[in-house]
Each structure stands twice: as structure tokens, then as C-alpha cells.
Structure 1
Amino acid sequence: MNHRNIILIPRRPIVSLSILIITIMTIIGFIRHAASSNRPISVEPVSGEIAIVIDDFGIDNPGTKQMLELNIPITAAIMPNLLYSKKETELIHDLGYEIIIHMPIEAKNGRREWLGPGALTTNLSPQELRTRLEESYKQISYAVGISNHMGSKGTENLQVVSAIVAMAKEHRLVVLDSKTTESTILAREAKNAGLAAGTRDIFLDNSADLNSIKKQIKLLISKAKISGKAIGIGHVGPQGPNTARAIKEMLPEIKAQGIKIVPLTKLLKSQT
């Protein structure tokens, strides 16, 4: 009998090899996924927080549209008793921005018309001061805080300041002292009453020049990196378009420096 050597050859070697490769790649993919799921998520470090408060809404001022298109958590300070106070309050609230009352308060200098109607002045009785504050709160019903418009005289006056603090405490508002005078007592008295309160660090746009505003934003960044937190105040109005543009163009720098923009209430309440 003749014996033959029989060699077995797979009928579909290409198919078998393909299945093997797919199996190996699937295993490798699973291993990589498991390893990546255990890897800590990369988070950009935050070296400080800033609140950007924009004053003088309520007049349909230049820069209003640009400010509201920045898509960052600015805090809008709306003046009461003006033609567009209620309309802009509704608009800004609907867009999701934080709102505070920008209360006009008597100044030592400046034109009377800059103050606006319904202002708090040092010659008013405690009852009239309270009435004007309540009327302003009713107009700007979404307000979560209050700040002073002008006020270099009024924020040094205990009677005026006490009325503001009492109203803020009743409605659970935060208090921002715009610091238009070095002798202001507004933030101090608010803190003494147990309220979340703070003081402006940097005015962004005392000059309407674009480069000047950018320099002020850099100072705000530096302040936040040193202190952990800083409050900057800008404006709609004649300088409004340039202020909005400066903020927009500085956003990459703010992010690169590890600075986070937060609503005013978040910044103030984290200090208490």
C-alpha cells in the first residue's frame, strides 16, 4: 500500500487572517479606551476670577448691542427711572445676564443732569430715601444687587448709606461700591450688616481710547492674579463700543492668563 503525505491547506486563508487582525485591533482598542478612561481629565488652571460690571444701561446707549453680544457673564448695571429702564431690564434678563440696580446718588461735583431722575440726595428724609429705593427695585425687578451711579457725596453719608443697606438686606441684594470717593462707607456698612459686598478695583474706560481700555483690562488681570479676585467697571455710552471691542479682543489674553470671568454675585458671595 502506498502512503501519501497529506498537507491540509485552509480554503480561505485571506478571510481567516482578516478575522485575526480585526480581533487583535478590537482588543487593542479596548485596552486603550480603558487606559484613557482612568486618565485624569485635563483642566486649565484658574489663577484668578474677575467680574466685569457694565454701568449705565437704561438709556439705549451706544455700545449696548455690542456688550450684549459678548457672550460672557457680564453683570449689567441698569439705571432706574429712565426711558429704557424697564425695556432693557426685560431684554437683558431674557438674554440670561445678571442684573443689578445702578442707583443714582448725589455727587460732590458734576452736572445735575448726569445724575438722572429719582436720585438719592443727602437732603432727603429716611422715608423718602426708602421710597425712591423701593420704586427703583420695582422697575428693575430681576435685580440681584445694587451699585452707586456717581455718589461721591452720598456714599460718604451715613443716612443715605443706611437706607441702601436696609433695602439691600430686605431684598437679599449684593452691594457693589463703585468707589467714586476714597471716603466711601458703602461697602463697609454693607459688610457690617452681613451682606455680600465689595468695592470696584479698576475703572476700565475713564478714557474711550481702545488701547487705554486694554491697558486697564491688563491691570484688572494683574489684580486678579495677585488677590485672586478683582472687579472691573466699564460703561455703555460714548465709550461703550470701544469698551466692548477691547473686552472682546482681550478675551484670549484673559483666558491665557488663567483668569475666569464670573458674575458679580458669584465673586462677592465667595468672599463671605
Structure 2
Amino acid sequence: MTSKQWFIQMCCLAGLLLGVSFNSNAAPNNKATIYVIIDDIGYRHTDDQALVLPNEVTLSILPHTPLAEALAKKAHGQSREVMLHLPMAAYSDKTLGPGAITPQMVPEEISYTFANAINSVPFAIGVNNHMGSELTASEEAMTLVMQQIKQRNLFFVDSRTTPNSVAQDVAQQQHVPNARRHVFLDHELTEDFMQSQWQRLIRLAKHNGQAIAIAHPHPESIAFLLQKLGNLDTEHIELRPISHYFRQGSSQVLFTAEGAVLPATPIAPR
């Protein structure tokens, strides 16, 4: 064998080996991915029922609530991801609760309030908004919030409580990893509504490769999710922790085949 023939054979062998390596990194089953966040956590002792869900389900915990620290530590002990569910000013008359950010705050107040909020939820790796129809529509206020998030190397998930939200645009400008929820699973606590929202989640995931759902720690929601998440194989869907979304370098919006942005499930501003 000449040196030229040997070199050609080695190149072919290297190509085969590289092909095997590339294929081994590809998704073996091409399953679509869903991400589930349970938020509004921290006030009720029944909130710990969320801990019976698969560990890939993320808990987003309200700051300064009676159970915030304990539930965050329990979740972390399960290798479950934890987020801060940060209260933000809304147009509704519902009480925001402690740790809320409002557009009337000066930068120093936002910095102080955010720092105290994130410190009250151990192991938080990201943030999503609690309510926030007013604040998330304010570019100035959201810029200050995103600066706090960026300083701590966190990510942001826009709960999309208003179609007027600029949160993701501002996050992009501030180079904060960001995403948005696509489905509210239990905005209405009925079997029919949750089933329709679940089907929407699955359709979005299959069409776009992945989708994000937000739900709450209601007993009805937990029971529904236990049943549905236990049968994902039949849907050819996999459940991943929310941080996986950002490790994939995912685009920040979902598109239809025609290129139009798919709207989040419409809800009344809150």
C-alpha cells in the first residue's frame, strides 16, 4: 500500500467515525419537548403536593411567603429546578403581595426589592412574573428589572399576562436568556378546560419542537398533571426542566408554518 492509499483510507475511516459521533449526539427519537412550571407557590401547605410531580417540573416560588424557603430547599433536594415568581404591578385590583415591583419605584428601590426577593427563594435560577400586566408593558421598568436579572446570571420567562408585554424585547436588548409561556393549563379549573389546554400544549410542541406551560398548585391541577405526565410516551413527547430550553439555544418565539407568531393562550390582563 502506497502512502497515498494509506492516507485516503485513514481519511475515509475518520469520516466514518465522525459520522458515528455526530449521529450519537442527535436526538435518538426526535421527541418534542414540553416544559412545565408550577407557580404561585409559597402560601398554602398544600403547595407541597407539587413535589410529587416528576422532578423535571419546575417550581416558581413567591418571595417572602411562609413556605418559600422550605419548599425551595425541598425542591432542590429532589434535583428539581426553582425559580422566583416575582410579583409585578398589574391593572387588576388583586393584591400583589410582598416583594412586588411597581413602575413608580426609582432604580434603587427596584434593586433593593429584587435583591431581597431573590434572596428569599434559595436556589432560584430564573424568574417569571406574577401578574404584571402593567409592569411588563413598561420598557423603562422592565429594563431595570432585566438589569437585576442579568447581574445574577438568571433567565426570564414571560408569563404573558398581557398581549402588550415588552418583557422579551427588553430581555433581548439586555442579553438576558428569555422565553415565554405558551399555555396556561388551569386558568379555569375544569377538566374540559385543562384538557383543551393540554391538547394545545401538545400541538404546539409537536409543531415547533417544544412548548412551555404554566400551571398552579391546585389539587385538581396536580392530579391532572400526574395523569398526563405519566403517559407522555404515548404522545411521543418528553418533559424537560426549564433550563434545558436555554441550553438548546432555543428561539424565543414559536412560529406557524406560514411564519406568523403563535399567540399565547389569551387571558384577561392580570
Which structure has the larger Rg?
1
Gaps of 5+ in 1: 1-40
Work out the CA distance in 2 between the residues paired with 1:71 and 1:183.
33
Q: Name stretches of at least 5 consecutive residues in structure 2 with no aligned partner.
A: 1-23, 252-270
CA-atom RMSD in angstroms: 1.9
Q: Return the TM-score normalized by structure 2.
A: 0.79
Partner deviation per Cα, 1:7-63 (whole Å, 9 max, x = no partner): xxxxxxxxxxxxxxxxxxxxxxxxxxxxxxxxxx9x97233111100001111253x
Asked if residue 101 in structure 1 is aligned to residue 63 in structure 2, the reply is no
Give the stretch that moved more between structures: 216-225 or 86-95.
86-95
How far apart, in 2, do the equivalents of 1:47 and 1:126 lie? 44
**Do residues 206 (structure 1) and 184 (structure 2) align?**
no
1:58 to 22, 25, 42: 42
Please state if 1:222 is matched with 2:170.
no
Residues 44 and 258 in structure 1, CA contact (< 8 A), matched pair in contact too: no
Describe the shift of the 1:224–1:150 C-alpha distance in structure 2 as closer, same or farther (beyond 3 A).
same
- Are 2:241 and 1:241 equivalent residues in the alignment? no
- Could you report, residue by residue, the CA deviation over 1:71-128 in whole angstroms, capped at 9, with x for unpaired residues? 24111100001122112221221122100100000001132x2x11121011111110
Deviations 1:130-166 (A, max 9, x none): 1100111111131110010000000011232112211
* SS class of match (2:124): coil
| Paired position in structure 2 for 1:45 | 29
| Contact map agreement 2:55 2:78 (CA 8 A) in 1 | no
Q: Percent identity?
A: 25
- CA distance 1:147–1:165, shift in 2 (3 Å): same
TM-superposed deviation, 1:215 = 2.2
Q: Give distance in 1, aligned partners of 2:156 and 2:138.
A: 16
2:147 counterpart residue number: 166
Change (3 A) 1:140 1:65: closer
Checking the alignment, whether the CA contact within 8 Å between 2:90 and 2:134 is kept in structure 1 is yes
Secondary structure, aligned partner of 1:52: strand
Give the corresponding residue for 2:165: 184
Equivalent residue runs for 1:1-272 within 5 Å: 45-60=29-44, 62=46, 64-111=47-94, 113=95, 115-236=96-217, 240-270=218-248, 271=250
- Matched AA of 2:51: L
CA contact (8 A) 1:50 1:267 kept: no
* Distance change >3 Å, CA 156–CA 226, structure 1 → 2: same
Secondary structure of 2:113's counterpart equals helix
How many residue pairs were aligned? 226
